[in-house]
Structure 1
Amino acid sequence: MKLELTCEQIKYKDEFNKFVNEIIIPEAAQIDRKQYLPREIIKELTIRGYLGLMIDEKYGGKGADAITIGLLNEELGRGCTTVRNLITVHGMVALAIQKWASEELKNKWLPKLASGECIGAFGLSEPEIGSNAQGIKSTVIDDKNHYVLNGSKKWITMAQIADVFLVFAKYDGKPTAFLVERDTQGFNITPIIDMLGARGSMVGELNFCNCKILKSNIVGSIGTGLSHVALSSLDYGRYTIAWGSVGLGQACINDSIVYASKREQFGNALKDNQLIQKMITEMVVNVKAARQLCYKSGYLRQNCDPESIMETWVAKYFASKMINQVASNALQIHGANGCCSDYPIERYFRDARINEIIEGTSQMHEILIANNAMRGLR
């Protein structure tokens, strides 16, 4: 497989790089410290069309290809994991609507999501339910012209600022997806603060008490919530997280090289120490390897190859584990300074850890990747 960027993709990559350098990086530490994503940042994303990058042009988006989407997430990952998280969950909701919703819902929500008028959030995890999505306890019952929703969701990224939520609940025991608007009566949001990493992601807990949901707000059909809607959304989420991990790894490399070049120990620059060189070598090689896995996944996605799903699992698994080792090496190179907020390394280190948990833990990836490999031997 020949992995080369087109002229348009190269142009986008340069644009994304400049945007992150000029707009995102200067604000990243404040976003982490204040645990808040400023509306000004969302506005900047909106102006450039990045919130609609994954949405079809007929709905006001840019209809970008998978590689271009990946390149944006790599650059945002390099600049600020929180901003990359926004693009991830917003895109998960938008693509679920685009693929599975009625034309009425598409026409209502996709232009608003593409323009940034509305922000989307993905509501699957619950207080007692994480990896075992089949075990969700939230329920909906039929009430003439409405569905009535009860239950709760937890660890929902952008919950504090989202306008529309893709929520999964069981109807007669069958997992089903619904759109729930923020101002729905009986719907309350509780902020969750002081997370380990990605602290500006505006995480929250959703609580539904007899919420009336229009029947037209169903996404997909009864019983397809996990098998179709969530599956495709999470596939996109894993893809963007893999790319974001690559970007975060590149940030670790860049900062480590600058630091090692300036810092002296025993009369010599840190960069001349062979043990430091070994760590930087391993960082560079692992980031490059993860990037190539992301490229492969992206090209398969663009060609609608069914193998893209497993290749995305592989890319996310490797990239999310890779970034934890790379961030650890970067912190080690910085020494005590790496543990201090005066340097971004401590933020990178905290953000890295989140990537092995969201959109499927590393352990769940290991089970699925191994089972897929063993099926191939039968």
Structure 2
Amino acid sequence: MKVRQEIFDTYWRFAAMRQEVFFNKIQNVPPPWTSDPILNTYKFCNAYRASDRVSQYLIKNVIYGENRSQNEEEVILRILLFKIFNKIETWEYLETQIGDYITLSNFDSDVYSNILESAMNLGYVIYTSAYMSCASKEFGYDKKHQNHLALIDKMVVKDRVINPLVKAKTFEDVFHIIQEYPLLGKFMAYQLATDINYSEVINFDENSFTIAGPGAERGIDKCFIDTEGKTYTDIIHWITENQEKEFQRLGLNFQSLWGRPLQAIDCQNLFCETDKYCRAAFPDLKSNRKRIKAKFTPTPQPIDYFYPPKWGINEQVQETLAQRLPPLEIPHLQQLNTNCQQLSLELYSTVNTTFEISNHISKHRKKYKPKTENKKTKDLQNADTEKSQQLCLF
């Protein structure tokens, strides 16, 4: 396959920089956590999916929360209900209004629907903006949340989807079981399969199956000029298998997740984030999306990170958290962050302007060089470009 070298290398550099930001934040290092102006300005997901705020809440509070039942059907209900909306505030609003933990015994799609309806009437947005969920009237209701609650009722209560899930032989089988249901689609089914795999209900190798979401497909298309017939899935698997070699090739000190390398789901997500990053870093690169929507804003409360116990890294995580610096008390933190973002943007603009001036001077000088020398230089540049773009990966 042939890569677009600068963009392909950006994929790996972004992963290393984003993970550096992650550890700097954990250790309460004062901002800015990176010298990269784009990362300082815009919001990007973590290099590891399980480290993102919503995934952390799912793992620590929804799946393994203290006083929550570890009965397999209860766990499946909680995962599906939380992830369909994928919003912490929606989950907490439901439990507040119910006055108890969400359980099979108090799950009633009509009651839950009325609670969410009241939230929307108060002006709350009950769904995440991270990805779009299907919104057809599959179960005959006018409102999207009513159909989704009916879907959960069908999966957990009526069909008892737990039975085929625990009998699944492969991670891909889990994906297909979920995908058979309406209102989900391939990408959502893959996300749910991954979330269920965080629990003790199933235990499969995350690298044994993957698919690319729309954002990852755009990122792969930017990184590769010619995939030579390889599928998006093939590329994600190759990236996962060759990560150590690629970090070494670029001399990057990638800080893994306490010894856990990037998994296929993480590499898939990183293609999506690379697509976003390139909109600012390489605005002239052809893309059907031109800008990054979300600006970065710091979260006031640090996260006490916790991962699926079966990964065997929580002891190391706790050791790191115990050694972190005390939080730095900075008045007007939001204003400071805004100033940092503005400075980053100004530096980024200055670098781009300097680069453009340099290019202009270079082009101006070329006009006065002998034609033979000009042609030779151009041929060498083309040869170098062609060589860099045709790095063979397979």
State TM-score, norm by structure 1. 0.28
Which structure has greater strand proportion? 1
> 1 or 2 for the larger relative contact order (CA 8 Å, sep ≥6)?
2
State TM-score, norm by structure 2. 0.27
User: Is the radius of gyration larger for structure 1 or structure 2?
Assistant: 2
